[in-house]
Amino acid sequence: MTESKKTKITYWVSTGILAIFIIPGIFFLNSKMALDGTAHLGLPLWFHWELGIAKFIGGIILIVPLFPKRLKEWTYVAFGIDFISAFIAILAVDGVGGMWYSPIVMFIVLLVSYSSYHKLNSTVPA
């Protein structure tokens, strides 16, 4: 298997994992669990809606190849900020316990996707 093929597989698997965990969230924004989680962290309701809609749009931007590279780049930045902020918020409110590590796991998946995205876009086809 060529290096380019391995990179493509890594990109699509990692980006697919991100999409699977991010995109469906839009359908649960009004659920009791989502609303309670936002309130538990002390975040306002408007931020809950803003972040939920933005994450859905960002997930679509990452998974659909038609979007410009610069827009994808900023989407990676936004998700990086989101995952780091979620990690800090969970630790600040709940401490180490429960699912405190989940934003870090998603951040690592994001880094794999980002790294493989750049490898794919920097290689010249033979």
Q: Which amino acid is at 88?
A: I
pLDDT digits over 29-85, tens only? 999 999 998 999 999 999 999 999 999 999 999 999 999 999 999 999 999 999 999
The CA distance from 84 to 106, in Å, is 10
For the chain, give the percent of residues with pLDDT over 70: 97
Does residue 123 carry a pLDDT above 60? no
For the chain, give the percent of residues with pLDDT over 90: 83
Please report the pLDDT score of residue 124 as a whole number: 52
Please report the pLDDT score of residue 8 as a whole number: 94
First to last CA, the chain: 15
Please report the pLDDT score of residue 26 as a whole number: 93
Beta-carbon contacts of 41 under 8 Å, excluding residues fewer than 6 positions away, are 89, 90, 93
Mean pLDDT of the chain: 92
Does residue 7 carry a pLDDT above 80? yes
